[in-house]
Structure 1
Amino acid sequence: MLDTARHTPDDTAESDINQRIADRVRALRAARSYTLDALAARCGVSRSMISMIERGAASPTAVVLDKLAAGLGVSLASLFGGEQEGAPAQPLARRGQQLKWRDPESGYTRRNLSPPGWPSPFQLVEVDFPAGARVAYETGGRDSTMHQQVWVMSGRIDIVIGDALHALQQGDCLAMRLDRPLIFSNPASKAARYILAIGDAPAT
């Protein structure tokens, strides 16, 4: 009897995402000639945790990945990779090809919308944020200035930048620099969805 079960692209993306993160973190660390100890000192993540992440033996949270990204001088979105080794980057990313990842701590999911590896000054990410979820990013200082805009597609998101609270409703768009502690939370009883635009070019 033939097995007619089919696996969707989303299933495939979620099943190998930890290995993609592992390969990406290891490659970025090697490109910068950082030892495990040096990266641990830069980002505040323990040497043992970084080693486990690079082996694909851990499911890191969004907060841990953000610390790693800051230590490596890249955006959180770039840690998910997605490009195929040896294959030229393409300007089009179909919906089924876009990598999706779920934060094991808060339950929020993020989907990398931008074509992986394509040279561009910004990246787009789609986020589904559950009701009651909260994520606190502690990193403030980065080697390069990074900018982010949040556009709420549905629901409500509260964002605290430093000491400033911004309560965002559907259709609202907030621009920010990633130079202070940042907290995302959903105080509503329904899930929220928003788009992140991330870039490292200085604002004019």
Structure 2
Amino acid sequence: MLDTAETPAETGINERIAERVRELRAARGYTLDALAARCGVSRSMISMIERGAASPTAVVLDKLAAGLGVSLASLFGGEQEGAPSEPLVRRAQQLKWRDPESGYTRRNLSPPGWPSPFQLVEVEFPAGARVAYETGSRESAMHQQVWVMSGRVDIVIGDTLHALQQGDCLAMRLDRPLIFSNPTSKAARYVLAICDAPAT
């Protein structure tokens, strides 16, 4: 069973996610009901996320990101309040978040708030972990590449299985259901390169 107790750092990230979702929803002029209808997440859950009262899973955040027309990584991004964006972010300053359902952790490698068409994310994927994204509902598909640094990661895009080993790199469009899994007894690590611009 996964430990669901939040650390202070995780609480801070949930507050950051809350602020980002509120900002994006307001910028698009969506009510809570309108966003709920767009992304398939209940109005009450969105409200709790925006208040920082919930620890949303990666699947819920992906649905929210799709409804808002942004990448999942962008929900963790943005500048810290009062801090100008810089082209360099040190390892110790990179945001880290853990999915409460699968236990996988993601670290935003890219400088927060820096204007760039792509973002880098490092993922530590536990043994036996599985995450199923319903990214096929996005209005505009986005590009993403996965480069495996260690271990094995199985990725199912639509009906196609890709078994990735260390050093393998897979390019994909986020326009179909997507499942990440680690079928082994050892943790895996990979880097995601995410392009925020819609795929053509």
TM-score where L is the length of structure 2: 0.93
Once the two structures are TM-superposed, the CA of residue 4 in structure 1 deviates from its matched residue by 27
- Encode CA deviations 1:12-64: one digit per residue, 9 max, x unaligned: x4340110000000010000000000000000000000000000000000000
Q: Is 2:24 aligned against 1:51?
A: no
Preserved CA contact (<8 Å) 2:148 2:191:
yes
Q: Relative to structure 1, is the Cα distance of residues 8 and 16 closer, same or farther in structure 2, using a 3 angstrom cutoff? A: closer
Instruction: Answer whether contact 1:129 1:191 (CA < 8 A) is retained.
Output: yes
Q: Residue 93 in 1 paired to residue 92 in 2?
A: no
CA contact (8 A) 2:144 2:171 kept: yes
SS at match of 2:146: strand
Q: 2:181 matched to 1:163?
A: no
Give a deviation string over 1:78-110, Cα, whole Å, max 9, x none: 101251224321000100110000000000000
1:55/1:189 CA distance change after superposition, 3 Å: same
Uncovered stretches (5+) of structure 2, i.e. residues with no partner: none
RMSD, matched Cα: 4.9
Change (3 A) 1:86 1:132: same
Distance of aligned partners of 1:2 and 1:27 in 2 relative to their CA distance in 1, 3 Å threshold: closer
Contact 1:159 1:182 in 2 (8 A): yes
Deviation sequence 1:114-134 (CA, Å, 0-9, x none): 001101010000000000000
Larger deviation: 158-167 or 79-88? 79-88
Instruction: Give the conservation status (yes or no) of the 8 Å contact 1:14–1:99.
Output: no
Deviations 1:151-178 (A, max 9, x none): 0000000000000000000000000000
Alpha-carbon distance in 2 for matches of 1:74, 1:8: 27
1:141 Cα shift?
A: 2.8
C-alpha spacing 1:18/1:174, structure 2 compared with 1 (3 Å): same
CA contact (8 A) 2:2 2:103 kept: no
- Once residues 197 and 100 of structure 2 are traced to their aligned partners in structure 1, the CA distance between those partners, rounded to angstroms, is 31
Q: Is the 8 A contact 2:140 2:199 kept in 1?
A: no
Structure-2 change in CA distance of 1:47 and 1:174 (3 Å): same
8 Å CA contact retained: 1:145, 1:200: no
Q: 1:203 to 1:29 in 2, by over 3 A?
A: closer
Alpha-carbon distance in structure 1 between the residues aligned to 2:43 and 2:89: 34
1:23 corresponds, among 19, 25, 39, to: 19
Gaps of 5+ in 1: none
Q: 1:8 to 1:47 in 2, by over 3 A?
A: closer
Percentage of identical aligned residues:
90
2:82, 2:16 → 1: CA distance?
Answer: 15
Moved more, 21-30 or 75-84: 75-84
Give, in whole Å, the separation in 1 of the partners of 2:139 and 2:113: 21
Asked whether the equivalents of residues 173 and 199 of structure 2 are also in contact (C-alpha less than 8 Å), the reply is no
